[in-house]
């Protein structure tokens, strides 16, 4: 879990350690923002607390691949393999998470240095808490990152946007029954990635996906006050219930794409027990966009699979600039003239959040946004290559459209024509460029 990741990051020289005291209110977020969440940072001295904070772990694509022992080329098939072949986790009798068990006088803001990131945020927020609960019908464990507004004492808001969790909570609510949940903090790369697998699409036990991704059973211990297992090596676990028929005002909160999300009544969790390791480390994720990379990696599986049914897809990028959800770029091996438009249809139908998609040929590096822009500039004629679908379902997190959740969808077919007509799009080649070793010319570089 987290400590094994930190050890590995340190050995790889990928962990920045901050020994200067930082204020969890704004200052910590400002330091994380400086690196755009691409550098993991361990803050050892936090104002007003002796608990260190780790942040920025999950925003760097190359590092993410390394930490889960995969490569860019293998990633999509590795993730599909884990979803298709889940592995049983293992319950063990005890684990470090139970080194401290607190059941009384729970006061979360006093116990943990929970950061505040933006000036209009309504309260400190736990931004990387993985909410876990068991589906009573299937026994499957469901995990997802949800933002958690810390209201004081043992009371936090849980913002649930996913249909699966909303439906279950509402079912419990109708019977006036609480829903038992845990919030898990201090996890690793596989655990976050598994949580981002869409329940709607696959309906799977995410602990089993996690085990398949890590190639060995995730070790779990039983909770103290609820019927659920949690990772034995997590740093902090909050056990409790989502209270039926109770709502508390949540927000505003600076969130996806850097906008403030609105204020609205949302369900409430009452924490019954806090478990933590000795000398726990609090995990945070900057609430903007880079930390959603894990979410984007799973969206790439969806986009790739949707395209794969219709065309010969080469690679896909659900881009960081589009918040890892609004923008997709796909390269295809074009076989017929209809492939570009067909790929647009498949892509825009793959996920409601995908708003703009660009389809290019396999000679384009789709992870180089400058190159993609150049291709749009030179291989697109608006009247025939741009498809606009008005008034589809979109993401409620996009402030640009008039009716929340309703959006136009745009596809750009930037593929070359086949045959003779395509010849004029061939790029000028410079013989020997690939073999230049710049160090031979400038040894100091």
Shortest reach from residue 266's CB to ligand FMN, in Å: 10
Q: Does position 199 bind ligand FMN by CB under 6 A?
A: yes
52: burial class by Cβ within 10 Å (0-12, 13-18, 19+)?
middle
Q: In angstroms, rounded to a whole number, what is the distance separating the alpha carbons of residues 89 and 1? A: 14
* Alpha-carbon span 161 to 409, nearest angstrom: 22
- CA dist., res. 224 & res. 101, Å (int): 8
Q: Nearer to ligand FMN by C-beta: 144 or 348?
A: 144
Using alpha carbons only, what angle is made at residue 131 by residues 277 and 144, rounded to the nearest 5 degrees?
125
Contact string (CB under 6 A) for ligand FMN, positions 13-32, x = contact: --------------------
Count Cβ atoms below 10 Å from residue 24 Cβ, excluding itself: 23
Here's the x/- map for ligand FMN, 130-169, by CB under 6 A: it reads as: ------------x-xxxx-----------xxxx-x-----
The nearest distance, CB 409 to ligand FMN, in angstroms, is: 20
Nearest distance from C-beta of residue 97 to ligand FMN, angstroms:
21
Smallest gap from residue 339 Cβ to ligand FMN (A) = 30
Minimum CB distance to ligand FMN smaller for 199 or for 331: 199
The least CB distance from residue 373 to ligand FMN, in Å, is: 27
Coil, helix or strand at residue 182: strand
Q: Which of 132/359 has CB closer to ligand FMN?
A: 132
* Near ligand FMN by CB under 6 A: residue from 295, 314, 319, 350: 295
Q: How far is the CB of 335 from ligand FMN (least distance, A)?
A: 33
Nearest distance in Å: CB 300, ligand FMN: 14
What is d(CA 283, CA 24) in angstroms, rounded to the nearest whole number? 12
Kindly tell me which of 225 and 305 has the beta carbon lying closer to ligand FMN: 305
Distance CA 142, CA 124 (A): 25
Closer residue to ligand FMN, CB minimum distance, 160 or 237 = 160
| Distance between start and end Cα atoms, the chain | 38
Distance (Å, whole) CA 411 – CA 413: 7
Strand pairing partners for 148?
Answer: 126, 158
Instruction: Annotate each residue in 30-69 with x if it binds ligand FMN (CB under 6 A) or - if it does not, as one string.
Output: ----------------------------------------
Residues 354, 325: contact at Cβ < 8 Å? Answer: yes
Query: 135 vs 219, which CB is nearer to ligand FMN?
Result: 135
Nearest to 128 by CA among 169, 187, 182, 179: 187
User: What CA dihedral angle connects 349, 169, 263 and 26, to 10 degrees?
Assistant: -90
Question: What is the binding site for ligand FMN (CB under 6 A)?
Answer: 128, 142, 144-147, 159-162, 164, 195-196, 198-200, 285, 291-292, 294-295
């Amino acid at each position: 879990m987290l400590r094994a990741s930190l050890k590995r990051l340190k050995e790889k020289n990928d962990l920045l350690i901050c020994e200067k005291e930082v204020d969890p209110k704004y200052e910590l977020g400002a330091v994380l923002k400086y690196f755009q969440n691409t550098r993991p940072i361990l803050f050892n001295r936090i104002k007003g607390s002796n608990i260190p904070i780790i942040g920025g772990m999950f925003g760097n694509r190359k590092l993410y691949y390394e930490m889960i022992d995969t490569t860019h080329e293998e990633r999509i098939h590795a993730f599909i393999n884990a979803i298709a072949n889940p592995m049983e986790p293992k319950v063990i009798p005890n684990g470090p998470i139970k080194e401290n068990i607190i059941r009384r006088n729970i006061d979360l803001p006093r116990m943990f240095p929970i950061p505040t990131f933006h000036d209009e945020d309504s309260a400190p927020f736990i931004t990387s808490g993985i909410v876990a609960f068991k589906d009573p019908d299937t026994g499957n464990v469901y995990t997802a990152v949800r933002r958690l507004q810390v209201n004081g004492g043992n009371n936090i808001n849980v913002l649930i946007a996913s249909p699966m969790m909303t439906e279950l909570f509402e079912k419990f609510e109708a019977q006036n029954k609480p829903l038992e949940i845990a919030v898990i903090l201090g996890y690793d790369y596989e655990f976050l990635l598994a949580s981002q697998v869409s329940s709607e699409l696959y309906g799977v036990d995410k602990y089993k996906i996690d085990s398949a991704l890590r190639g060995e059973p995730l070790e779990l211990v039983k909770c103290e006050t609820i019927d659920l297992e949690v990772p034995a090596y997590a740093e902090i676990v909050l056990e409790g219930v989502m209270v039926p028929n109770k709502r508390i005002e949540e927000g505003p909160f600076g969130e996806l794409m850097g906008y403030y999300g609105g204020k609205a009544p949302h369900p409430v969790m009452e924490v019954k027990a806090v478990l933590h390791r000795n000398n726990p480390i609090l995990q945070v994720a900057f609430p903007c966009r880079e930390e959603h990379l894990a979410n984007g990696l799973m969206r790439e599986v969806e986009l790739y699979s949707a395209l794969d049914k219709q065309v010969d897809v080469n690679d896909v990028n659900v881009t960081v600039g589009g918040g890892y959800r609004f923008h997709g770029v796909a390269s295809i091996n074009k076989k017929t003239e209809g492939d570009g438009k067909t790929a647009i249809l498949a892509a825009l139908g793959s996920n409601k959040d995908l708003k703009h998609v660009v389809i290019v040929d396999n000679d384009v590096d789709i992870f180089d946004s400058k190159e993609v822009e150049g291709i749009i500039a030179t291989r697109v004629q608006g009247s025939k290559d741009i498809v606009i679908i008005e008034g589809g379902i979109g993401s409620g997190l996009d402030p640009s459209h008039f009716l929340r959740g309703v959006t136009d969808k745009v596809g750009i077919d930037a593929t070359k024509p086949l045959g003779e007509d395509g010849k004029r799009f061939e790029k000028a080649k410079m013989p020997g460029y690939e073999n230049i070793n710049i160090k031979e010319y400038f040894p100091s570089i």
